Structure 1
Amino acid sequence: MKYIFLLFLFSIHAMVTQAQTDASLENIVITSTKKKTQVLTLENSVLQVNVSPKDVRKFKARGFVRYSDFGAKGDGKTDDIDAIAVTHAFANQQNLMVKADQGATYFIGGKERTAIIQTDTDFGTAAFIIDDTAVKNYNAAVFEVGSKLQAFKLEGVSSLKRNQEKIAVSLPENCLITVTNSNIRRYIRFGLNQNNGSAQTDIFVVDKTGKVDMAAPIIWDFDQITEITALPIDEKKLNISGGRFTTIANQAESKYTYYSRNLTIKRSNVIVDGLEHRVSGEGEHGAPYNGFINVNNCAYVTVQNCILTGHKTYSTIGAAGKPVTMGTYDLIVNRALNVSFVNCSQTNDIKDSKYWGIFGSNYSKNLLYDKCILSRFDAHMGVANATIRNSTLGHMGINAIGSGVLTVENCTIYGRNLVNLRSDYGSTWQGEFIIRNCTFVPASGNPVSASLIGGSNASDHDFGYTCYMPERISIENLKIDDSNHPENYQGPAIFSNFNPQMTDGSYEEKFPFVRTREVLLKNVTTASGKALRISDNTFIFKDVKVVTY
């Protein structure tokens, strides 16, 4: 019986059933007997760790545990993932900090094991080698930052309206609300990666009384709700610091089997500080990556002072049956609010097109780049409000669709456009652009006919929503370095040619594309000395009011 009294004495059982974290990830049982502290592997990959009462007292008095306390070798050769996972499981139950051993190199092989982080963690200067050359489950994260709070279905809410300020609920604490109407399809993608779209979804924060945080408003009407959940938001910040991670890249077939061998963040109020991630061993082929730092289904996350790495670009056959380059990322944000990247950079040249743009996002709101040097900012399936400031963007520049306000200030942009409105989602932005004090170097200085706002929409595809261009575009103190330009260059255009077929009033728009109402310009200069013009296709933009002041 003494081997079973563990749950009564310490309530330690790391099958986390009450939390946001998926219980199936851990499979760890913790006991406390007079035997020595050790880790055993049982059937079905279940780990049993015995922590002697003496060690329990020692760890609690110390206030933290180390990976070596649970058998991690840190020699760069022995697979330490079981010891790492057990360390975090014990720390989670005892509310202890985790510290990596200084000078250690932890090897993490391809077995399916995820370490759940629910307490402050200091990876320090330790190195982590993640070998992806033979992985049992490429969908399984290496680390998952989870909450001890439990999501629950929200009862009594049958509909929602865009910009609704309050919902009729009473909650135990501030919550992150996720809502879906599976009967409506949005983001019906066009082009080489075409698809049938995704169920209408939204994510927003409400307080205890149901008041919606209007800094991240509801962006869709929900006449019907097929699923709605509330996740209580952790009030205390969880801090993750340090760590020198290296991924030995997979050698899998180049197709859309995204590898998620990463640090996944599924808890609100998290700071990741000083982490470094590098990639080695990329060959002639490989599967893409779903972000080494992957933020999803949470709010108030800051990634700061981190160094990331762009992944090599590989090609496959897309949904349209034609070759297509695959997006592959070191940073991903999905269904998340108020996510900031501050003072982050990457190891490879941000202007080197061999490497895919480092960042992608979907269904997110209030994204921030500040003091970053990265190859791309991108919003796939919409962003509501984004700010990019004091930053340098590389060869893939700024790509976005969405709503609200996109603010770009004190930045240098090396993309083909100052801002590219993604054509595969209709080049839509329902809101405005504010661009201040920036330098635009078109196509990293290669000879191109420059345009500030890029995109295309032939008005013949149903994207699942009405498509808009930003109603107002304000540009102040912009330097356009178009000194290296092609022959017969007419000067930079405000807009690219969004629809070459639409040259007069006879063109019929099956799905109307609402164009910009006004462009405000102040102190826009060009290195070529050529004046800024409206577009190669003046007919499309004939009703746009351009004001220079």
Structure 2
Amino acid sequence: MKINQMKCSRSLLMFLVAMGSLTGLSAQVGIMKMDTVSSKDTLHHISRGWVLYSDFSAIGDGKIDDLGAIVATHAFANRHGLTVKADKGAVYYIGGKNITAEVQTNTDFGDASFIIDDTDVENRNRAVFSINSTQKPLPLHNISLLRKEQGKIDVSLPVSCIVTVTDANIKRYIRYGPNQNSGSSQTDIFIVDKEGNVDKNTPIIWDFDQITEINYLPIDETVLTISGGLFTTVANRAESKYTYYSRGMNIRRSNVVIDGLEHHVTGEGETGAPYGGFININNCANVIVRNTILTGHKTYQTIGSADVPVSMGSYDVSVNRALNVTFENCSQTNDIHDRTYWGIIGSNYCKNLLYDNCTFSRFDAHMGVANATIRNSTLGHQGINAIGSGVFILENSTIHSRNLINLRSDYGSTWEGEFIIRDCIFVPTGLGSGNVTLIGGANSGQHDFGYTCYMPERITIENLRIKDANHPEKYIGAAIFADFNGQMKDDNYVEKFPYIITKEIILRKIKTDSGKPVRISDNVYMFRNVQTPTE
């Protein structure tokens, strides 16, 4: 429907506000953008089954701010269960208004472009799009404790749900190093069915002797699809400090597919605040991001909490408190080996993360992931950084980094579970130093991270090629483990917080281009009891 044919009633907008489809400033802008819509035109939209942004006064010339019209379009679509379509070839300019388009129906951005201007914003934390569930979280009653790996909770629920639980009396992930902190409240997220059976793929990972908050959120049963769209963020030019910008697309609904989206970044200058993710996935399950192209952000420096200079993490994707999240056939616009750009993704409190056929600069799990898989992928200069539990599978992939897998030392280099590595190629970027390690990390045993720290109990490495041909003369071969504690050279060293060492490494078909065999570690004493059967 053409703009000059648009006749939308103010009473309809007020009705949407009353129904909760528009709230706050989003409601005000929606009302302002919509004139009068006749009943005839409303019926036309409904019978057609979809609406265009131009139906609600979007111009699409790349100059006039269209965010208000976009907000109004989605509000109307949400109310009537209609698909939203971008106008073919349109260029939508999105300025710094403190409003969000709430998306609850399928959306096809097609070949349209969206320019998100972050140079002058009213609220740097306000997403442009938020893909929301129609369900609301509700408190769970009569549950006073939970146990690690508990198989069932005593509840009866309407459908399968996500359960989130917190004990604010216990602190975990007490970070060490330049960005040190006092930790975060113990938290967990898992799926239960109607009878309260815990999904075995999202196990409870902590004991909860006290519960300060516990809620459930029904899982949306239908799949919502967001497709297409070329998005360009005009980067902020703020002071370089930890004032994160998150003006992108939030996913707050389960069973969502993002397909064919492309995100670019332009205008990065001498200073800039970091980004918390153009795609931000939070408090949901079963999300697939496929055929999507993303962009790494320029790395800026600031002073960390330990009063020393630090590089600030800046992400195009953030995944927090999310379950069963897959990235499939995804890549990034900039060189995955360019160290001037930060790694593409960061995550916390997740379970079952998967990269499949992705080319990214990094995989990262900050405050823990339970089960992760990387397959058919290529990772760049920041490689694989993780702590967590369960099974980490790395297969049929090429890793260009200092370590094949790095266990993050700022969180204790902990993985309570197993590593399975097979059919991979490792291209060590630290070869020039003569120091090549497969499993990196550090733990002095002197810092309380809020939990017992483990190395993987078993590590299986099968059919691995290490490209270490162009090595310096002093090179003596790749080590399986880094020197995790350079002070632990004999039994006189006492750990205040013992670090539980790997029990067994199984090696099959390890090939080095240098011809030098792999060895256990520069710290032979620390790993003296590790069993290393080879084939």
Q: Same fold (TM over 0.5)?
A: yes
Match of 2:370 in 1: 384
SS in 2 for 1:291: strand
Match of 1:72 in 2: 58
Q: Which residue number in structure 1 is paired with residue 77 of structure 2?
A: 91
Task: Give the secondary-structure state (helix, strand or coil) at the position aligned to 1:26.
Answer: helix
TM-score normalised to structure 2 length: 0.96
Q: 2:269 aligns with which of 271, 276, 283?
A: 283
Structure 2: runs of 5+ lacking an equivalent: 1-7
Taking the aligned partners of 1:219 and 1:23, their CA distance within structure 2 comes to 37
CA shift at 1:250, angstroms? 0.4
Structure 1 residue 487, shift from structure 2 partner: 3.2
- Conserved 8 A contact 2:434-2:476: no
Map 1:35-184 to 2 at 5 A: 40-41=31-32, 50-184=36-170
**Secondary structure of 2:113's match?**
strand
Q: Is structure 2 residue 345 aligned with structure 1 residue 342?
A: no
- On the 8 A contact 2:303/2:309 being kept in 1, the answer is yes
Trace 1:200-211 onto structure 2 (pairs within 5 A): 200-211=186-197
Question: In the alignment, which of 159, 169, 172 is matched to residue 186 of structure 1?
Answer: 172
Checking the alignment, whether the CA contact within 8 Å between 1:382 and 1:401 is kept in structure 2 is yes
Find the aligned partners of 1:292 and 1:56 in 2 and give their Cα distance.
33
- 2:281 corresponding residue in structure 1: 295
Match of 2:290 in 1: 304
In structure 1, what is the equivalent of residue 501 of structure 2? Answer: 515
Q: Structure 1 pair 268/23, CA: closer, same or farther in 2 (3 Å)?
A: farther
- Aligned mates of 2:485, 2:25 — CA distance in 1: 49
Task: Say whether residues 1:324 and 2:310 are aligned partners.
Answer: yes
SS at structure 2 position matched to 1:545: coil
Residue type at the aligned position of 1:418: L
CA RMSD in angstroms comes to: 1.7
Flag the 1:322–1:269 CA change in 2: closer, same or farther, 3 A: same
**What residue in structure 1 maps to residue 424 of structure 2?**
438
Question: Does residue 227 of structure 1 match 2:213?
Answer: yes
Runs of 5+ unmatched residues, structure 1 = 30-38, 42-46
Question: Aligned in 2, Cα 1:5/1:80: closer, same or farther, shift over 3 Å?
Answer: closer
SS in 1 for 2:416: strand
Query: Do the aligned partners of 1:15 and 1:24 also contact (CA within 8 Å) in 2?
Result: no
For this pair of structures, how many residues does the alignment match?
528
Give the alignment partner of residue 535 of structure 1, picking from 505, 521, 528. 521
Letter in 1 for 2:533: V
8 A Cα contact 2:10 2:34, kept in partner: no
1:319 & 1:151 partners in 2: Cα distance? 34
Per the TM alignment, residue 386 of structure 1 is displaced from its structure 2 partner at its CA by 0.1
Amino acid at match of 1:117: V
CA deviation profile, 1:40-84 (whole Å, cap 9, x unmatched)? 43xxxxx66643212101101110000000000000000000000
Cα distance in 1 between the residues matched to 2:232 and 2:212: 41
What's the counterpart of residue 16 of structure 2?
13
Deviation at 1:26, TM superposition (A): 3.1
Q: How does 1:211-290 map to 2 (within 5 A)?
A: 211-290=197-276
Q: Measured at CA, do residues 455 and 404 of structure 1 come closer, stay the same or move farther in structure 2, by a change above 3 Å?
A: same
Identity of aligned residues (%): 63
Q: SS where residue 54 of structure 1 aligns?
A: helix
Per-residue CA deviations over 1:344-363 (Å, capped at 9, x if unaligned) read 00000001111001011000
Q: Secondary structure at the match of 2:341?
A: coil
* 1:482 aligned to which of 464, 468, 475: 468
Q: Secondary structure at the match of 1:503?
A: coil
Query: What's the offset of the Cα at 1:443?
Result: 1.4
Q: Could you tell me how far 1:14 is from its partner in structure 2?
A: 3.9
TM-score, structure 1 normalization: 0.94
**What amino acid sits opposite 2:118 in the alignment?**
D
After superposition, the Cα gap between the structure-2 partners of 1:332 and 1:448, relative to the gap in structure 1 and judged at 3 Å, is: farther
Paired residues of 1:398 and 1:419 also in contact (CA < 8 A): yes
Matched residue type, 1:264:
N
